[in-house]
Amino acid sequence: NAGVTQTPKFRVLKTGQSMTLLCAQDMNHEYMYWYRQDPGMGLRLIHYSVGEGTTAKGEVPDGYNVSRLKKQNFLLGLESAAPSQTSVYFCASLARRGMNTEAFFGQGTRLTVV
């Protein structure tokens, strides 16, 4: 039982390049989330999804796009990477059950944009 798996774990991008981060969960969870974590800022919500085919914006959505074509996968895309997107990205999933349940996190993707 893998839980939540993020790929890749590390990546270095040049300014202007694009990339996709993949989050996969095997717990049949309805809700999935993408966060970024920066020093002193805690975790900030980028985008989230409440089910297959649905996405919504979080606190800091600019510069990112997401897709949830399959229930188990939630993709985060950077169309044109900027140094300000250097961060650690975390994916989480949560079973719906009225939201009163814990979230499970992946191990993170450390992204550096140079």
CB of 5 to other proteins, least distance (A): 11
CB of 91 to other proteins, least distance (A): 9
CA 70, 35, 82: angle at the middle one, nearest 5?
A: 100
The HSE-up count of residue 48 (CA atoms within 13 Å, CB side) is 16
Residues that bind other proteins (CB under 8 A): 4, 31, 33, 35, 40-45, 48, 50, 56, 58-59, 90, 92, 94, 98-108
CB of 102 to other proteins, least distance (A): 4
The DSSP bridge pattern shows strands 10-13 and 109-113 to be parallel
Give counts: helices (H), strands (E), the chain: 0, 11
Q: Which is nearer to other proteins, 69 or 98 (CB)?
A: 98
Q: Which is nearer to other proteins, 57 or 70 (CB)?
A: 57
